[in-house]
Amino acid sequence: MLSLLWLKGLIARRSARLVGVANGVAVTVALLASIGAFIAASSATMTQRAIADVPVDWQVQLVPGADLAAATAALGQATPYEALALVGYADVTGLSATTSGTVQTTGPGKALGLGVDYRQLFPAELRLLTGSLDGVLVAQQTAANLHVAPGDPVTIQRIGLDPVSVQVASVVDLPQADSLFQAVGVPAGAAPQAPPDNVLLLPIEQWHRLFDGQAAARPDSVRTQLHVRLAHDLPADPEAAYTAVQQRAHNFEARIAGSGTVGDNLGARLLGVRGDALYARVLFLFLGAPGVLLAALLASAVAATGADRRRREQGLLRVRGASTAQILRLEALEALVVGVVGVVAGVLVSVLTGMALGIGLPGLDSPSLVWVLLAALAGLALAIGATLVPAWRQARRSAWMDIRLGVGREGAPLWQRLYLDLVLLVGSAVAFWQMASAGYQLVLAPEGVAQSSVAYQSFLAPVCLWLGGGLLAVRLWDRGLARGRGLLVWLARPLAGGLAGAVSASLWRQRTLVTRGVVLVALAVSFATSTAVFNTTYNAQARVDAELTNGADVTVTGPTASNPGSLLPQLAALPGVIAAQPMQHRFAYVGTDLQDLYGIDPSHIGEATSLSNAYFANGNARDTLAALAAQPDGILLSAETASDYQLQPGDTVNLRLQSAQDQQYHVVPFRFIGIVREFPTAPKDSFLVANATYVAQQTATPAAEIVLLRTSGDPAAVAARAQAVVGSLAGVRVTDLGTTQRAISSSLTAIDLRGLTQLELAFAVLLVAAAAGLVLRLGLAERQRTFAILAALGARTRQLGAFVWGESLLVFVGGSLVGLALGFGIAQMLVLLLTGVFDPPPEALVVPWGYLAALISAGAVAMVLAVVAALAAARRPLVDALRDL
């Protein structure tokens, strides 16, 4: 009965406080549940994207004499699959070729046999460089070793059989050579096997004719593999997917009973994705955890605004004989009501947020539901903790002490005496310095090892900076207010006139409350600022990465024979095209290494594509291109090439380029003028950039295999128009920036922060508004008695406003300035720590000025509303106000 009575009274007379705390709980629950749901959705996306580019899921190595039909049947029983190809591997003792009167001979190598449809089934294994895929293919490195080109004969030194000659049809690149030539069945953890330098790929029928005899004579030198692409009906969770794939592999191996061993590329990738998914969760949690913590702090601050009144109520109850247990039951009732209302509201908001982000409703068996339940529990715990813990502590004090009001001369809290703020800042500095001295190697991904690792401890740096910075702000503000009474009077005078002394005295004595408000606003603004700046910088760099990959807003790519450069005027005239620039894409031998060569017009290439200073070793794109323009035979090389060949600027570099006149490679001299790190459309490994005019002159063809288009509007629309123009040209592709951006997939940089950005930045605005408005309003509401007394003493509205505006402006302006400074610092630290995530690294932070302006405006509006509400309440009939208190 007493409980119901108490609850009725609370709802009737303290509804503002209840609603305020419930709002704080709701925001906490909504933010935590939304982030969790996004993490769950992202994990599912991470799995699919990570395994999308696995070239061959399984490479099943069959033992010599294995029953191929039985193995194929067993495969179908063990797992559904989408593609299956038989690949032959034959060891050869060497390859040789005679070109230009000289004989080149290589060491041991491999001859592979591929079905005619292999490239269609597993397109990622082969990339045509020159020639035709119809016939014998020679790997790029092998072609360089033998100095052969399409049409040249190559002699294969077979094991136990006579040499045999074949004719090269094309030169190809094997991007996945590491996995294609992996040693299947070696113990886990063994060092990866380097792929052979000398490789020929023959049509499977020809391969059988040439190597079946070798297989009979020397069975150990010839192997057969089944290359399989599984049906990707895998669980969304990477860990469950890995287990499923492992089980299928073991099931298959059991069925074939020792006739073969599975080289599980898919499982290895999933193993790596597990770590990546964890990285993504940690990143999301890190970016989101301060927000959740902030929401919890705000909810606690909202609950604390009623502490004085609650303390008096408890004191009165104890004076009248209520036991501690009875008081705690009443407080628990309030906490439960607030918690349940807050949790329900928070869950509703998170569901709506999820639907808005396209995540959908959490199903009964979905991981999102777990996050929702966790968030609900956290919300209840917060509501109970914020209310019951202070009540329990107060129950041990004198009742009479609780009944009296107190502004108080408080001692320094424990954390200040322990210098916790400085400890956290030093911890942040140490963690950051450790990462800096390791070259910000946050992620370790050794070459040839599918798995990567993340130095999770590095996140301590920004977290400690945020917390330590907040606590230091408390210390400095408190000290500043304590010693800066004169400054307060000076600041208050324009607002308060003759009352400046009284206003500043009030602020001075309530500096704990004021400091708390300043720091809450600062933490909210810093969270929003750091999140916005980091996300904007990340998205900007993701775009730069896409620009590097795609080359321009729209890129038209084709072979030399049907080069898109021939339609340059038509492409340039398309609606929406601002600029169009041709670019050659040839191949040149640098020594024995075949590299991509890009021929450009250095004076005009920048019209169609963005060239960052970071692309060039001297850090100056304009100067580098100017130097190239001034040197007709100039060439830019990679740092690795310059180092390998001990080149200095000004040195002559002889490259071999294929001439259009006779299809032969001829030596062409270039002059080395600088190092290039990145270039639009260029691969990650070594490449060359030269003047298109010189290259055209030396190769007897001006063909431009690439056309770069800069657009004014939607690149996808321009790409569609370009496709219509080049549709008649064989082998020509049109790609746009948006499609490329979406398609960019990297085990670590494939994290899509777009949804998280929208989520966090929307909540950040709510949190800033709550810190600047809700907490302020409730705090002012608790001092309504003061304003009523002032009005009773004869204070006019303007004079009342001086007290209210003085505190509000000090809290909001002070908090915003501190928050912006702290936020930028944290963002800079995040960008440095996560340098490896950016490709290329950003040159500077990208500041979302519009968002920051909107953020501060939202806080200002919330503050103004709080002040207006407080002044309106102060203008209530005085007797009513005094009576209520």
What are the residues binding other proteins (CB under 8 A)?
404-409, 497-499, 501-502, 505-506, 509-510, 786, 789-790, 792-796, 799, 877-879, 882
Query: With contact defined as beta carbons under 8 Å apart, do 881 and 874 qualify?
Result: yes
Q: Which is nearer to other proteins, 523 or 788 (CB)?
A: 788
Q: Which is nearer to other proteins, 211 or 805 (CB)?
A: 805
Q: Which is nearer to other proteins, 514 or 863 (CB)?
A: 514
| Residues whose CB is less than 8 angstroms from the CB of residue 639 and which lie 6 or more positions away in sequence, other chains included | 617, 675, 677
Q: Which is nearer to other proteins, 361 or 407 (CB)?
A: 407
What's the rounded Cα separation, in Å, for the pair 290 and 531?
A: 10
Which H or E element spans position 472?
Answer: helix 460-483
CB of 879 to other proteins, least distance (A): 5
| Cis peptide bond upstream of 163, omega within 30 | no
User: Where would I find the beta strands (DSSP E) of 683-837?
Assistant: 687-691, 706-711, 733-736
Determine the angle formed by the axes of helices 754-769 and 265-304, rounding to 10 degrees: 10
Q: Which is nearer to other proteins, 231 or 879 (CB)?
A: 879
- b/e sequence 431-454, b meaning 16+ C-beta within 10 Å: bbeebeeeebebbebeeeebbbeb
Query: With contact defined as beta carbons under 8 Å apart, do 766 and 349 qualify?
Result: no
Q: Which is nearer to other proteins, 341 or 791 (CB)?
A: 791
What's the rounded Cα separation, in Å, for the pair 270 and 250?
A: 16
CB of 1 to other proteins, least distance (A): 22
CB of 321 to other proteins, least distance (A): 22
CB of 783 to other proteins, least distance (A): 8
Q: Which is nearer to other proteins, 854 or 882 (CB)?
A: 882
CB of 345 to other proteins, least distance (A): 28
- Only one residue has tokens 């930045």, namely 761
Q: Which is nearer to other proteins, 501 or 559 (CB)?
A: 501
CB of 782 to other proteins, least distance (A): 11
CB of 498 to other proteins, least distance (A): 5
- b/e sequence 591-608, b meaning 16+ C-beta within 10 Å: eebbbbbbbbbbeebbeb
What's the rounded Cα separation, in Å, for the pair 722 and 719?
A: 5
CB of 20 to other proteins, least distance (A): 22
Q: Which is nearer to other proteins, 52 or 879 (CB)?
A: 879
Q: Which is nearer to other proteins, 194 or 792 (CB)?
A: 792
CB of 778 to other proteins, least distance (A): 17
Q: Which is nearer to other proteins, 744 or 809 (CB)?
A: 809
Q: Which is nearer to other proteins, 438 or 879 (CB)?
A: 879
234 phi, psi to nearest 5 deg: -105, 160
CB of 518 to other proteins, least distance (A): 17
Q: What angle do CA 271, 277, 278 make, to 5 degrees?
A: 100
Q: Which is nearer to other proteins, 441 or 797 (CB)?
A: 797
CB of 368 to other proteins, least distance (A): 46
- Only one residue has tokens 């041709």, namely 582
Which H or E element spans position 665?
Answer: strand 665-675
Cα-only R_g, the chain: 35
Query: In sequence order, what DSSP letters do the residues of 361-375 get, joined into one string?
Result: PPPTTSHHHHHHHHH
Tokens linked to 44: 């599912």
327 phi, psi to nearest 5 deg: -65, -45
Taken in order 532, 538, 544, 546, the sign of the CA dihedral is negative
| Three-state secondary-structure class, residue 789 | helix
Query: In sequence order, what DSSP letters do the residues of 550-617 get, joined into one string?
Result: H-SSEEEE--STT-GGGGHHHHHTSTTEEEEEEEEEEEEEETTEEEEEEEE-TTTGGGTS---GGGBT
Q: Which is nearer to other proteins, 869 or 878 (CB)?
A: 878
Helix intervals (H) in 147-264: 177-180, 204-217, 238-256
| Three-state secondary-structure class, residue 535 | helix
Closest CA to 774 of 11, 17, 10: 17
CB of 793 to other proteins, least distance (A): 5
Tokens linked to 609: 């594509």
CB of 803 to other proteins, least distance (A): 9
CB of 872 to other proteins, least distance (A): 18
CA dihedral 792, 793, 798, 803 (to 10 degrees): -100
| Residues whose CB is less than 8 angstroms from the CB of residue 336 and which lie 6 or more positions away in sequence, other chains included | 380, 383, 384
CB of 19 to other proteins, least distance (A): 21
| Residues whose CB is less than 8 angstroms from the CB of residue 672 and which lie 6 or more positions away in sequence, other chains included | 634, 635, 637, 642, 647, 648, 649, 650, 651, 652, 653
CB of 797 to other proteins, least distance (A): 11
Q: Which is nearer to other proteins, 254 or 407 (CB)?
A: 407
CA 118 to centroid of chain Cα atoms: 34
Q: Which is nearer to other proteins, 112 or 507 (CB)?
A: 507
Q: Which is nearer to other proteins, 506 or 749 (CB)?
A: 506
CB of 790 to other proteins, least distance (A): 7
